[in-house]
Amino acid sequence: MQRRHLLRLLAAASAAAAAGISFSAVAQQAGYPTKPITLVVPFPAGGTTDIIARIVADKLGQQLGQAVVVDNRGGAGGSIGTAFLSKAAPDGYTLGIATASTHGINPAVYPRLSYDATKDFTTITNLASVPNVMSINPAVKATDMKSFIALAQSQPNKLAYGSAGNGSVSHMMGELFKMSSKTELLHVPYKGVGPALNDALAGQVQVLFDNLPSSLPFIEGGKLRALAVAAPKRVAALPNVPTFAELGLGEVNDAAWFGLIAPANLPADIQTRLHTAAVKVLALPEVKAKLEKLGATPVGDTPAHFAAQIKSEVAKNKRVAAAAKISLD
Contact 234, 243 (CB under 8 A): yes
> How far from 150 is each of 142, 188, 209, 230, CA to CA, in Å?
9, 21, 19, 21
> How far from 240 is each of 80, 128, 156, 172, 210, CA to CA, in Å?
40, 23, 28, 25, 18
Q: What is the mean pLDDT of the chain?
A: 91
Return the half-sphere exposure (C-beta side, CA atoms, 13 A cut-off) of residue 235.
Answer: 30
3-state secondary structure of 136: strand
What is the distance between the alpha carbons of residues 74 and 209, in angstroms, rounded to a whole number?
22
Contact 260, 95 (CB under 8 A): yes
Domains along the chain?
Answer: 32-130+255-324 (3.40.190.150), 132-252 (3.40.190.10)
pLDDT digits (tens, 9 = 90+) for 271-287: 999 999 999 999 999 99
pLDDT digits (tens, 9 = 90+) for 51-76: 999 999 999 999 999 999 999 999 88
Crossing angle (nearest 10°) for helices 48-64 and 285-293: 180
Please give the model's pTM, rounded to 2 decimal places: 0.83
In our burial notation (b when 16+ CB lie closer than 10 A, e otherwise), range 28-52 reads bbeebbeeebbbbbbbeeebbbbbb
What is the distance between the alpha carbons of residues 202 and 265, in angstroms, rounded to a whole number?
50
**Where does the pLDDT of residue 42 fall: very low under 50, low under 70, confident under 90, or very high at 90 and above?**
very high
pLDDT digits (tens, 9 = 90+) for 163-200: 988 999 999 999 999 999 999 999 999 988 889 999 99
Q: Residue 20 above 70 pLDDT? A: no
pLDDT for position 18: 52
pLDDT digits (tens, 9 = 90+) for 84-116: 999 999 999 999 999 999 999 999 999 999 999
pLDDT for position 23: 36
Q: Residue 11 above 80 pLDDT? A: no
Mean pLDDT over 24-36 rounds to 69
